[in-house]
Every structure is written in C-alpha cells, then in structure tokens.
Amino acid sequence: MTWSQMQPLLEQACTETLIMVGWSTLIAVVGGLPLGILLVLTDKGGLLQNTLVNKVIGQIVNIGRSLPFIILMVALMNFTRWVTGTTIGSEAAIVPLAIGGIPFFARLVETAVREVDHGLVEAVQAMGGNTWTIVRKVLVPEALPSLIASTTTTIIALIGYSAMAGTVGGGGLGDLAVRYGYQRFDTGLMWITVAILAVVISLIQFAGDYAARALHRRGGRSGASPRLRLLKAKEPAAADISKVA
C-alpha cells in the first residue's frame, strides 16, 4: 500500500482514536474524581467516616478494575447498544472505555488525595471550615500535581484500551492495525500505526510530567503553596481570638 493510500486511513483512524480517548477521559475524570475523594472521606478517620459506604464504593471500584477490558466490552454490549444504538464504531467504544476508566482513575485520585498533609486539613477545620470547603480549598488544590499525573496515566491507559477496542470493530488505530496490518499482512502500515501510538503516548507523558512539575514548583509539596501561606497567616489571628475568648 502506497503512502497516498495510507494517509486518509491514518487520518480517519487518528481522529477516531482522539474522539474515543478524549470523551472517555472526560467522563472518567468527572466520574472518578468524586469517587476517589469519597473513598478518602468515608475511610476510617475521614471527615465523613462511614465504613459501609466506603466498603461498597471500594468493592465497586475493585470489580471495575479487575475486569480485563476485552471482557468488559463484551459484558457491556447490551448496555452500549441501549446507550448508542450500536456496538460497533468509535461512539460505541466510548461507553466501555469510560466505564473502565472511572474506577481506574478513582484509585489514582484516592492515592493522590491521601498524600495531602493532614495538618492542613486540621487547620481549616480549626477555622470552622466544613467538608466541602476542605475538599475545594485544600484537598483538590494541594493534590493537583498528583491529579495531573494521574490523569496522564489514565489517558495513556485509555489509548491502550482503545487499541483493544479496535479488535472488535471499535474503530481507531487499533482497528486499522488489525484490519490491514494483521488480516491483510500489510506490515508497513502496522508499524506506522505502532510508531504513531508511541509518539502520541510519549508526547502526552511529556506534557503531563511538565504540567505536574510546574505545579510542584509553584507550590506543591516542595514548598508552601499560596493557599498554605494564606492559612498560616490566618492561624495567629485565630489563636488571638481563642485567647480573647
């Protein structure tokens, strides 16, 4: 196959992969972020300690993470057909990609949020901050560099999942590699597809690492963030009020 014949196929496959990974990442972040935070809040010693809720959410996340993606796609075929009207194509592949990405990202969020200095949480509580304030002003901002790294890991995992989706007609670069590289023995096109995936993953990893390092330099765990400095500045005032009382 000549390059002029490959080019439109590669452009279409790249577009389909971008759509699948983009939408599934968005859904995974929106769904996984609150789940991961809730796992921390409801855990023993958490702000919303609830053993039953924590175990239920934990088991759901564990089950979602334990299923191989190819099996998850097959298990969700009826649900995918109900949502999108079909089980073939990039739109249909978004459904299992998103559902598989949510528990994956949730565990990464849980790990990132647990790393936040508990002393900062206690300082906000001492100033009368409620749970929502702690989540919005402390947990998420202080864990942001780790959350960026977690998002990068999730995107790369979903790219791998999207390639597997191509084996069952999900579209994208995986589908192109299977149909032409494997079934038609076009090794040239297959290696071009592999090279594109390798370059894309490397660029995403570089961008994610750069963003995480930039946030660390601006005030991550290597130094006091603006919010932390603000809270520290307010602590003496709070102490003076308690003395007056």
Distance between CA atoms of residues 61 and 106, nearest Å? 8
Neighbouring residues of 164: CB distance < 8 A, sequence distance ≥ 6: 69, 70, 73, 170, 174
Q: What pLDDT was estimated at residue 92?
A: 87
Cβ–Cβ < 8 Å for 189, 128: no
Three-state SS string over 189-204 comes to HHHHHHHHHHHHHHHH
Mark residue 172 as left, alpha or beta (left: phi above 0; alpha: psi -120 to 50; beta: remaining). Answer: left
Q: CA geometry: angle at 65 spanning 64 and 71, to 5°?
A: 70
Q: What pLDDT was estimated at residue 59?
A: 93
Q: What pLDDT was estimated at residue 171?
A: 78
The pTM is what?
Answer: 0.83
Q: What pLDDT was estimated at residue 101?
A: 94
Cβ–Cβ < 8 Å for 172, 156: no
Q: What pLDDT was estimated at residue 224?
A: 43
Written as tens digits, the pLDDT of the chain (245 aa) is 777 777 888 888 899 899 999 999 999 999 999 999 999 999 988 888 888 999 999 999 999 888 888 888 888 889 989 988 888 888 888 999 999 999 999 999 999 999 888 888 888 888 888 888 889 888 999 999 999 999 999 999 999 888 888 777 777 888 888 777 777 777 888 888 889 989 999 999 999 999 988 887 775 444 444 444 444 444 444 444 344 33
